[in-house]
Amino acid sequence: MSASADLAQIASAAKADAPPAIELAGVNKWFGALHVLRDVNLAVAPGERVVVCGPSGSGKSTMIRCINRLEMHQEGRIAVEGIELSDDVRALDAIRREVGMVFQSFNLFPHLTVLENCTLAPIWVRRMPKKDAEELAMELLARVKIPEQAKKYPGQLSGGQQQRVAIARALCMRPKIMLFDEPTSALDPEMIKEVLDVMVELAGTGMTMMVVTHEMGFARQVADRVVFMDQGEVVEVGTPDQVFNAPKTDRLKLFLSQILRGH
Amino acid sequence: MSDASISTGPRKPPITAVGPIAWAKTNLFSGWLSTAVTLALGYLLIKAALSFVDWAFINAIWSVPSNAQGPQTQICRDMQGSGACWAVIGEKHRFMLFGTYPYEEHWRPALACVLFVVLYIISAIRRFWRWELALVWIGMLTAIGMLMWGGIFGLSYVPQERWGGLPITLILATFGLAFAFPLSILVALGRRSSLPAIKVLCVLYVELIRGVPLISLLFMASVMFPLFLPEGMNIDKLLRAQIAIILFAGAYLAEVVRGGLQALPKGQYEAADAMGLSFWQKTGLIILPQALRMVIPPLVNTFIGFFKDTSLVLIIGIFDLLTAGKTAIVEPAWQGFGVEVYVFIGSIYLIFCYAMSKYSRGLEAELNRHRHR
């Protein structure tokens, strides 16, 4: 085992003392009769970067969408920052304030400018004065390296730019946790890097991140742990080194051979 | 070779490919058949236009002499339809516009109509789209009500039964759409609600109202509804017709709005949810602004349709613009001059509907600018 993997393990062990930022315990979900999440157990420590990978239809997107209740789980317990997801609307609102999300298809609001996209939630949800929200938005747009696009509409930007705006928009809520649902899957190859660079930079700030992605380079570079899912189950969890270099299960071996062949 | 052809840069298209001559050549005279059709249709068009000009202007009679028995319309009748008798408009326009409203008080409904138009213009300017606009509406409509009813500020009281003509049409259309539109948004949202009771209620409303003709709703409002009211209680006939129109327009508009809601990608709802926006914030800031922009054309289509459908109130004896026009030519002296009257009434409808249509096209272009690069 390499030294860096040891360090990563020590780091995540240290973080494990704090209460988990995200905790899934015995989570089950069905779409109709289809069992899409099977007894998922996972805890993410504050500041930890977790990459979730797996073949399509493995339930990885569904899992992270359950964390801010874009999907509802039917069994088990999900808690974010110690707040349990329940039918209580206040708990859900509290969780959504702390959790930022970036989607595969960006989902920017096309009728609002880039700046308005970024200031909307701070103004309406955090009740921030408009001027402060705009300052914050400009600061974050600068951080994702597109401050000059602030007055444009999303439709005038390239896919990579749109996704960077989407990241800035989520960061404007000052979330404690960021969820990424295949953030680079809808992008042209030449734009993937600009988005990944922003995510790597964000990982460097100590943000708790959960990223569904097939970008194995990104996973090796920033992930503390990699979660491999297949058919709704968490099959293997480990450091990038363990998961990519020493897969234990046949399913993971098969998956790795497939994506490596693809690259 | 290739270097030389690059260095010449873009060239202008040949003169035969652009300009009016090229347009006519490709669109009107592209072959012998299309040339023949163009010439034949052109001939018919010019002939029709000329005979209309003859009828409406050259042969037209603009006024008729009057004696003790009333206006002498014989010269109009002698024309035998070869020229328009616009004298009927000159003679009867005030009755057509204001119905049986007391003659010497006609300035009041006239001013009311002007106020309506001013209200439309103010509301059409996007700069004024703020909450204060609601106050302007309340103020204007109150002023219009005071003008029409009177009974205060030294204005004589005019009962609603004597109102008629254009103000009635504008009242029915304005109140109708002003109430039906918000109602339709609520119903459209309700139809997509996850609460079964609200959903069923909205579906029932739309299906019931849409399933019957407007005329039967108007009959119900004017004949059946009073039977359900306690003895001695009486709701104004105009108000009852107004409610029927609001309910009817609301059901149709709700389906148009629902179409817009459904056309929005699911990701927009999810992004708003993920940010922690409440239902009403999400609806008001993200969903409706996009959904309504998408349905401007069918929305205005329905608006225009209902502006004209207000004329159906004639069957329950309310004196709107069209009914007033019809009544104006009941008088024996003017019988038989329907065409002139209907052209006049039709142009008034056309002006309002065309203004709506023209405005909506501008609005659509302006509001959808974000879609263009």
Closest approach of chain B CAs to the CA of A256, in angstroms?
30
* Residue B140 in domain: no
Measure the CA dihedral A172/A173/A174/A176, to 10°: -130
Supply B103's token pair. Answer: 């003659």
Q: Which of A213-222, B37-46, B338-347 has the highest mean pLDDT?
A: B37-46
* Residue B122 in domain: no
Q: What is the pLDDT of residues B107-153, one digit of tens each?
A: 888 888 999 999 999 888 888 888 888 898 899 988 888 888 887 87
The single residue listed with the structure tokens 């708003």 is B272
| Long-range own/partner contacts, residues B156-162 (CB < 8 A, 24 or more apart) | B156/B102, B156/B105, B158/B101, B158/B102, B158/B105, B158/B108, B160/B236, B160/B237, B160/B238, B161/B237, B162/B99, B162/B100, B162/B101, B162/B102
Which whole number is the average pLDDT over B285-311?
90
| Average confidence score pLDDT of chain B | 85
| pLDDT given for residue B266 in this prediction | 92
Sheet with strand A208-212: strands edge to edge: A99-102, A177-181, A208-212, A49-53, A225-230, A233-238
Of B50, B74, B94, the residue at which a domain comes to its end is B50
A155 vs B270, B293, B371: nearest CB: B371
| C-beta separation of A102 from A180 below 8 A | yes
Which whole number is the average pLDDT over B218-242?
78
Same domain, B359 and B228: yes
- Chain B residue whose CA is closest to A66: B274
- The H-or-E segment that residue A178 falls in is strand A177-181
Percent share of chain B, pLDDT over 90? 29
Supply B350's token pair. Answer: 């056309």
Stronger pLDDT, B216 or B337, i.e. the higher one: B216
Q: Which among A51, A9, A44, A45 is positioned nearest to A196, based on CA atoms?
A: A51
Task: Say if the Cβ atoms of A110 and B271 lie within 8 Å.
Answer: no
Residues of A in contact with B369 (CB under 8 A): 153
d(CA B199, CA B136): 34
Number of domain units in chain B: 2
Gap between the terminal Cα atoms of chain A: 25
The set of residues, in sequence order, having a beta carbon less than 8 Å from that of A19 and lying 6+ positions away, is: A46, A82
| C-beta separation of A85 from A69 below 8 A | yes
Cβ atoms within 10 Å, residue B83: 18
Measure the CA dihedral B98/B100/B102/B106, to 10°: 10
Of the CA atoms within 13 Å of residue B230, those in its CB half-sphere come to 0
Task: Give backbone dihedrals phi and psi of A102, rounded to 5 degrees, phi first.
Answer: -120, 130
Which whole number is the average pLDDT over B242-255?
91
User: Average pLDDT for consecutive 10-residue bins of chain A (263 residues)?
Assistant: 48 59 92 91 92 91 92 91 86 90 93 93 92 93 90 91 94 93 90 91 91 90 92 92 91 87 57
Q: Which among B311, B310, B291, B308 is positioned nearest to B299, based on CA atoms?
A: B291
Stronger pLDDT, A210 or B239, i.e. the higher one: A210
Residues of B in contact with A93 (CB under 8 A): 276, 278
Angle (CA) A151-B271-A198 rounded to 5° is 60
Reported as a pLDDT band with limits 50, 70 and 90, residue B182 is very high
- Please state, in angstroms and as integers, the Cα–Cα distance from residue A242 to each residue in A2, A10, A46, A212, A247, following that order: 10, 14, 22, 18, 7
- Chain A residue whose CA is closest to B285: A120
* Residue B37 in domain: yes
Same domain, B29 and B169: no
Of B6, B35, B50, the residue at which a domain comes to its end is B50
Amino acid at B172: L
Stronger pLDDT, B86 or A112, i.e. the higher one: A112
Substitution target in B266, B269, B273, B275 with the highest count of A β-carbons within 10 Å is: B275
Query: What's the DSSP call for residue A82?
Result: T
Which whole number is the average pLDDT over B328-354?
85
The ipTM value here is 0.87
* Residue B61 in domain: no
| pLDDT given for residue A85 in this prediction | 87
| pLDDT given for residue A1 in this prediction | 40
Stronger pLDDT, B24 or B264, i.e. the higher one: B264
- For residue B1, pLDDT beyond 50: no
Closest approach of chain A CAs to the CA of B4, in angstroms?
33
- For residue B78, pLDDT beyond 80: no
Of the CA atoms within 13 Å of residue B41, those in its CB half-sphere come to 8
Structural domain that includes position B28: 15-50
B276 vs A93, A103, A109: nearest CB: A93
d(CA B91, CA A93): 69
* Residue B98 in domain: no
* Residue B318's CATH number: 1.10.3720.10
Residues of A (119-158) whose Cβ lies below 8 Å from B: 120-121, 124-125, 153-156
* Residue B269 in domain: yes
Query: What's the DSSP call for residue B161?
Result: G
Angle (CA) B361-B364-B370 rounded to 5° is 145
* Residue B146 in domain: no
Closest approach of chain B CAs to the CA of A213, in angstroms?
19
- For residue B17, pLDDT beyond 50: yes
* Residue B120 in domain: no
Provide residues of B within 8 Å CB-CB of chain A: 265, 267-268, 270-278, 281, 285-286, 289-290, 293, 369-373
- For residue B66, pLDDT beyond 80: no
Q: Is A109 on the interface with B (CB under 8 A)?
A: yes
User: What's the whole-model pTM score?
Assistant: 0.82
